[in-house]
Chain A
C-alpha cells in the first residue's frame, strides 16, 4: 500500500505519481490521506490500480478516469468522475452536482444521495445511487444506465437521448420528452447486474424499479413541439 499525504505533498505530486503508473505496475494499492476537499484528486488516472481517498473531495475527483478503482471514504464535490472512460468510482457518502457528467464508460456508485444534474450528458457510463438524485438529473443523457434506489427530483431525463433510467421510489416530475416505459426481461437483467456491481445487492429487488426513457419526439425539430423545449 502506497500512502500519499495530500496535505503534505500536494496535488501535483499526487497526480504525477498516479499518471506515471502503467498497466503492468505492481504498485496497485494507493491510499490518499488528508484530502481536505481538494479539487481534481486522482484526475486522469489510466492504470488498473485501487485508490482509496480517506476523506471528502472537492471538484472533479476521478475526472476522466480510465481503468482505476477509486473509493472515496467521504463525500464528493461537484463533477465527481466527470467524463469517466472506464474503471469504477465508489463514494461512501453523498455526491454534489454533475456526478458522472458526460461519463463514457465505467461504473459510478454513490452510496448516499446525489445532487442535481447527476448523469448530465452521460455517454455510456453506468451510475448506481443508493439514495436519491436531485433535479435535472440525466439532462440530455445520451447512453448508459442510471439506477436510483431512492427518489428522483424534478425534470428527470429532460431532453433525453438513449440513456436508460431506473428509479425505485418517486419521481417528482419528468423533463421534456422523458416518459415511463415498460419493463422487459432485459431490463430486469440490467438492474440485477447494476445492483450487484453497485454494492447494493439485497437492498432492492429488480421488480421494484420503474424505467424511464426518451419518447424520441424531440429528435427532429417540429414547430408543434416548440413549447416542450
Chain B
C-alpha cells in the first residue's frame, strides 16, 4: 500500500447503482420490469408554477365570506343529459380486476358524498360501483370486456379510451395472479392467464371512423349521454382537435404522471409527455376551433392537491381527474403496513407491484383475505374528506386571485419558477415577461 492519497470510489452518473441493479435483474430473469403507477422520474410539474395572488390591480375575495363556486357542467355540446358536478375533481378510470370490488365501492361512496363522478375501467361495470356511484362514467375500451348496451344505457356518460398517460400507444395488462373466477368471467377469459388487452380499438381506426363510432354510441343511448374521448399525453394539440372534430363532448387528457395498474416500466418512464406540457396545447386546439369551454377539457396525471387543481384550471382545464391520489386517500401505500411492504421487498410509499395482487392494503388485489382488510365505508369517507380538502384549497387560491368561480382562474394568475415550466405551460418566468418559445411554439 502506498501512502499516496487514493481517488475515492466514484459512481457513474450514467451507470448508477439503480441502473446496474436493473441490468442485473434483466440479465437474471429475461423479462422486462412490470409495475403499476405512473412515472417516478422528476418532471416539470405544477410545483414549478406559482400563483401571483391579488395586488393593487386585482382585489381578492374574502376567504370565508365571499362565494367561490366550484361546480362544473360536462357534456353540454351534444348530450341531452349533460353531467353537473359539485366539484371539478373526478375519479379516473380504474378497473375492477386491477382494484377489488370493495375498493371500487369506496370510490363510488366517496365521490358521491363529495359530489363528483367515478369511472369504470378495463373490466366492465360492477354492481359495487354502479350501486354506490351517483354519477358513473363508463369506459369504452379496445378490449370491450363486459361491454353491453344495458350498461351503456345505465351509465351517466361514456368515455371512449384511446390512450392513457402512463402508456400512450399501449393496451391494458392484468397478470394471471389477479384473473380470479369473477374477473375471468366478466372478461370472457380463461382464469389465471396473463391478460394483455389490445392497444387499438377492434372496429375503428383514425378520426373519421371515430366520428362514426361516436354516432353509433349516441344512437344506441338515444343521444342522452355525454361522450368523452380520453387520450394519453402524446400529441395533445392534434388529438384534442381530432376528438372535437369527431364529435366528442368532453376531452380527457392524461399526462405521463398518470398511473396504470400494470405495464412495462420502460413504457411508463419513456413514453408520453408531462401534463404541464399537454394542457396548453389542448387548450390552444380548443381555442383555435372556437370550442374552449364548449367542449370541456378534463386533465389528469399527477394531481395531488387543491393547488394542482387550481393550476390546471388556470391553464384552461374545466376539471381534473385523480387516480393515484385517490388510491392513496383510500389507504394504499400506508406506512401502517410497513412490515408487510418490507416482506414484499419494498417500502410504504414506494410499493408499485400492483399487478401481483398482493397489496397489503387490500385495494389493488383480488385476494379475498387481503381485500377483506379494506373497509369500503371508511375508505369512502377518507376519499370524501380528501376531495373536500382539495376543493377548499383550490377555493382558497381562487379567492386570493379574486375569482368567484374556479373556472375564472386564468394563466395571467400564474408565473413559472423554471424556464422549462415557463416554456411548457406558456406562463412567464417569475419576475420577467419571458415565455420561451412564445413566438415560435409548437
Contact = CB atoms under 8 A, between A and B. Distances in A.
Given A121-B143, A142-B188, A223-B30, A43 B202 contact: no
A101 to B, nearest CB: 4
Chain B interface, DSSP helix/strand/loop, else mixed: loop
Nearest to A44: B220
A67 B88 CA distance: 40
Contacts of B31: 221, 223
A102 interface: yes
Interface string A131-147: 00000000110110000
Contacts of B144: 83, 102, 121, 123
A62 B361 CA distance: 45
Contact of A140 (B149, B198, B212, B221): B198
B194 A83 contact: no
Nearest to B32: A223
B187 to A, nearest CB: 8
Contact of A39 (B188, B193, B215): B215
Contacts of A156: none
Contact of B223 (A12, A83, A121, A161): A12
B203 A79 contact: yes
Interface in B284-343: none
Contacts of B196: 221
B203 A40 contact: no
B190 interface: yes
A66 interface: yes
B214 to A, nearest CB: 10
B149 A66 contact: yes
A66 B209 CA distance: 23
B439 interface: no
Contact of A161 (B190, B209, B221, B222): B190
A219 B193 contact: yes
Contact of A15 (B30, B187, B219): B219
Given A46-B149, A85-B149, A123-B144, A78 B203 contact: yes
B16 interface: no
A64 interface: yes
Interface residues on B, range: 20 to 34
Nearest to B144: A102
A63 interface: yes
A82 B216 CA distance: 11
B21 interface: no
Interface residues of A, number: 42
A176 interface: no
Contact of B216 (A39, A223, A224): A39
Interface string A70-109: 0000000011001101000000000001100110100000
B213 interface: yes
A8 to B, nearest CB: 18
Interface in B1-52: 29-31
B378 interface: no
Contacts of A46: 149
A47 B109 CA distance: 35
B189 interface: yes
A59 B216 CA distance: 9
A162 interface: yes
B147 interface: yes
Interface in B175-232: 176, 187-190, 193-194, 196, 198, 202-204, 209, 212-213, 215-216, 219-223
Given A58-B212, A83-B144, A220-B194, A19 B202 contact: no
Interface in B137-187: 143-144, 147-149, 152, 176, 187
A149 to B, nearest CB: 24
A124 B148 CA distance: 13
B202 A16 contact: no
A15 B220 CA distance: 8
Nearest to A39: B212
B148 A85 contact: yes
A98 B221 CA distance: 22
A212 interface: no
Nearest to A144: B188
B188 A64 contact: no
A117 interface: yes
B209 A59 contact: yes
Contact of A11 (B30, B187, B188, B219): B219
Contacts of A64: 148-149, 152, 220
B219 A220 contact: no
Contacts of B147: 83, 102, 104
Given A60-B212, A104-B148, A123-B144, A44 B219 contact: yes
A142 B189 contact: yes
A16 B223 CA distance: 10
6 tightest A-B CB contacts, nearest first: A44-B220, A223-B30, A79-B203, A98-B203, A219-B193, A102-B144
Given A19-B222, A59-B212, 8 more contacts: A40-B220, A43-B219, A101-B203, A102-B144, A139-B202, A161-B189, A161-B193, A219-B194
Interface of A: 11-12, 15-16, 19, 39-40, 43-44, 46, 58-60, 63-64, 66, 78-79, 82-83, 85, 97-98, 101-102, 104, 117, 120-121, 123-124, 139-140, 142-143, 161-162, 219-221, 223-224
Interface of B: 29-31, 143-144, 147-149, 152, 176, 187-190, 193-194, 196, 198, 202-204, 209, 212-213, 215-216, 219-223
29 contacts: A11-B219, A40-B212, A44-B219, A59-B213, A59-B216, A60-B203, A63-B220, A66-B149, A78-B203, A78-B209, A79-B216, A82-B203, A83-B149, A85-B149, A98-B202, A101-B203, A104-B148, A104-B188, A123-B144, A140-B198, A142-B189, A143-B188, A161-B193, A162-B190, A219-B190, A220-B194, A221-B194, A223-B29, A224-B30
